[in-house]
Structure 1
């Protein structure tokens, strides 16, 4: 084998740590960004929180309307393509670590121009944000998340009731164990035998004793409020609630007129649940031995029961949505204008620690201290880039939101029926950004509007053809379907085919299958289940 030297010219794309961080911050939600900021504050001593207003960066909104050069657009396109590939193939660590360079020669260096001096952009950013607070009941410290945390869980509610029962230590422990084994809906998914075997293993005698204690504890659990808790299936859950109504009717004279329907409902719940789901009245009349009118009354009674007893105890904190941008209306009617601004409550207020940065500037180490000085200088540059990337994230969100509001102005004036078809490519072309960048910006970012709070992706939708040759937004078509169904007769609900014909009368070409797809997406039952009994 002969050895020799040769020259080769090649090109490869390497994402710098700054660009990697910018892309990653752009796709984070508000909560994830908050966690990222907290982690960076813990790790980087040059970064601190501040409440003062910072100057704008030169690449911020002041440059928002500057035309994008073709070279920059091509570079962004290549970077986004590479970022998508790296994101799909990298292994996600627990701390969501940064993407490694694509080339082994490209080390992660945050060094800028090699200077440790304070730059004009070293001051804080996001300082106009005020601490999040709501003046609820005169308490300025109270907010929605704190109120959500104080909500009583299903397990706590049941444990409090169990305290009033006089039980032996074994039965009390068994009841506590069953309560903790319930799912969020209040059902006991595991069998008593499997729960006992999970505790006792292969000891058959101990398993038998545990099953006995669990059986006693289950009857006690099912007697607690809310009615239906501890059921092992839908039929048992409905039966428990109906039995509670029977017990109530024995002491409350006002409930006695409905007792006949309750008894028939108990017989219905003893039958296969698919008959009830199909509302097969004729078959249920035969099986239950009751009149047609009584069976219909019983089905209506079952429809008013709670199929998920633990639903009202579910933690509501996860349903809280904090908008990233706010849309403010000025003027009314044809003179209405909509202004978009960032929600300052979600903007982190960060700045470079002046004391530490000045100390590093004045103490330029040499000799043995050179390595430590270089490491600290790199951390300082990392803090600067983190502040810049966060600012750029919010600037991009604001630019995209402004473009969306401009394109969907009819929605903000008239509601979802006036939504226009819109795809990511249109916003990307208008702003001179890559389509994947728009996708990242619109994911898990929310906009507060006069009609409610929506994810930015809500304003994008495909179009359906119309008789006039234009397009109607799929969101508007869904709203129209919902409007048709809300105005239908309960005795003769509209079928999917009828809705399709009604849309054609409005000039919208929408097939029956598409109507069914949109209806299911709206969680609206088919016509057979919407018909009044």
Structure 2
């Protein structure tokens, strides 16, 4: 049975400008440059801010904009037979537009390197097809990321090649014999075994390394060295030599085939630049490659002329006027959104500088106070989500280095004396304790908690474990060394 009811809801609808600001707040300076270029390509009403013309110059030197304004007409947007439909869309470019890129030459990629080695083997067409498919499923680290039975199914459905498990494994062995050693392994153990097998196993240390990887891999990963030595009937020195051979192996063989022409080097470009003069902060936004924008006078004047003369306008002309108006509004929203983004970034960063004043003067990490998003939100009267968007993926250049904004945020706790300290300070003490520990008998989380307690940091063992994991430090037994 259907039932009707009347409900009243209060919904907040974001304006196009607010949506633009939110999106722009999230992106760093590098992406902002790309975003502005994209908007300039899609909206003809947006243009770069240029210097004002010199009134003393001759009319012959007048900027092209003045000439363009005389020639520009709304009628250009009316004849649909002459102008493609994409011109009247927000993304006004066509798939047929010509994009000229400067051609450049690069060396062979990792996968091309593997394919090239197929030519050095005597293979049937069938074996070559199977091998190429296997290589196509090898990732950049050098591992085969699909199970053999899945590859068999893929070959049957995609290439109509019926392959049994034995044939697939035989071809896999051929690929695993390629360089670099360890390629096309299905897991870490197989990867290391493939590498150690290429060495001369007549040497005791290499043979012991092989036996450890083949038969005692779980004990090796858990660092149960006493069990390994006992089962292999070897002494501590022999075990050290065998482990030394294993440590020479590459857990990611694909990464060893490095080609600088095929790798992307990503440089950190700071969003803020902080300078200090007479202990006063001089903060600026890094707008070096971010162009200033303005509304094209030619389009705005054209729209004003046609809007003031609405009589006897055809439907096509009205549609064209509406299109130009939409582009004009979009351009205004984008320019305002850029300004709001810059103002919000400066407001938030200045508040962080004020909160962490002593730290930014010297760069002394011990002076970094506990600070969470809520602290800055309250100081700026901005929403926590806004602070989060500003802090994410943004960097600041200081006189002591470049740091992500997220670095300055950390929770706090009180010592036994009632002093509030940053969790970052506690983590630093943990790192120092673990760095200086006896690796034969690494400190357990319980012992670390006891050490912190002696230093007036009353922290539970589970909290120590959480901080240790956040620092990407393994448990004690995995830190054990001979």
**TM-score greater than 0.5 by the shorter chain:** yes
Report the Cα offset of residue 237 of structure 1: 0.7
- 1:103 match: none
Deviations 1:83-125 (A, max 9, x none): xxxxxxxxxxxxxxxxxxxxxxxxxxxxxxxxxxxxxxxxxxx
8 Å Cα contact 2:182-2:195 kept in structure 1: yes
Q: Assess if the C-alpha contact under 8 Å between 1:492 and 1:531 holds in 2.
A: yes
RMSD: 3.5
Task: Kindly state the Cα deviation for residue 264 of structure 1 after the two structures are TM-superposed.
Answer: 0.6
Aligned to 1:359: 302
Residues 281, 296 of structure 1: 8 Å contact kept: no
SS in 2 for 1:351: strand
The corresponding residue for 1:125 is none
TM-score calculated relative to the size of structure 1: 0.69
CA distance in 1, matches of 2:51, 2:166: 64
Contact 1:187 1:231 in 2 (8 A): yes
Compared CA separation, residues 152 and 51, structure 1 to 2 (3 A): farther
Cα offset, 1:461, TM superposition: 1.1
Look up the match of 1:473: 422
User: Partners in 1 of 2:200 and 2:9 — Cα distance?
Assistant: 82
TM-score if structure 2 supplies the norm length? 0.75
For 1:135-146, list aligned pairs within 5 A: none
**Where does the alignment leave 5 or more consecutive residues of structure 2 unmatched?**
1-6, 53-102
- Distance verdict in 2 for CA 1:523–1:36, change over 3 Å: same
Give the secondary structure class of the aligned counterpart of 1:310.
helix
Moved more, 234-243 or 475-484: 475-484
By how many angstroms is 1:304 displaced? 3.7
1:11-43 CA distance string (max 9 Å, x none): 764432222322232233446545543443343
Where does residue 282 of structure 1 map in the other structure? 226
Contact kept? 2:155, 2:161, Cα under 8 Å: no
Q: Determine if the alignment matches structure 1 residue 328 to structure 2 residue 280.
A: no
Is it true that 1:445 corresponds to 2:401 in the alignment? no
Partner of 2:111: 155
For 1:47 and 1:405, how far apart are their aligned partners in 2?
35
Q: How many residue pairs are counted as aligned between the two chains?
A: 417
Structure-1 residue corresponding to 2:385: 436
Matches for 1:59-98 after TM superposition, within 5 Å = none
Change (3 A) 1:436 1:52: farther
SS of aligned partner of 1:454: strand
Gaps of 5+ in 1: 1-7, 54-145, 251-258
Look up the match of 1:381.
329
Query: Which residue number in structure 2 is paired with residue 303 of structure 1?
Result: 247
Aligned to 2:212: 268
Q: 1:186 aligns with which of 139, 142, 157?
A: 142
2:439 match: 490
Task: Please say if residues 464 and 510 of structure 1, whose CA atoms lie closer than 8 Å, have aligned partners that are also in contact.
Answer: no
Contact 1:151 1:313 in 2 (8 A): no
User: What does residue range 161-200 of structure 1 map to in structure 2 within 5 Å?
Assistant: 161-165=117-121, 167-200=123-156
* Mapped contact 2:17–2:336 kept (Cα < 8 A): no
Task: Spell out the pairing of 1:27-42 with structure 2 (5 A cutoff).
Answer: 27-30=26-29, 33-34=32-33, 36-42=35-41
Residue 451 of structure 1, CA deviation = 4.8
Paired residues of 2:115 and 2:132 also in contact (CA < 8 A):
yes
Residue 187 of structure 1 and its aligned partner are, at CA, apart by 1.0
2:17 is matched with which residue? 18
Shift, 1:51, TM fit: 6.2
**Cα offset, 1:174, TM superposition:** 3.3
Whole-Å separation in 1 of the counterparts to 2:349 and 2:474: 34
Residue 219 (str. 1) matches residue 173 (str. 2): yes
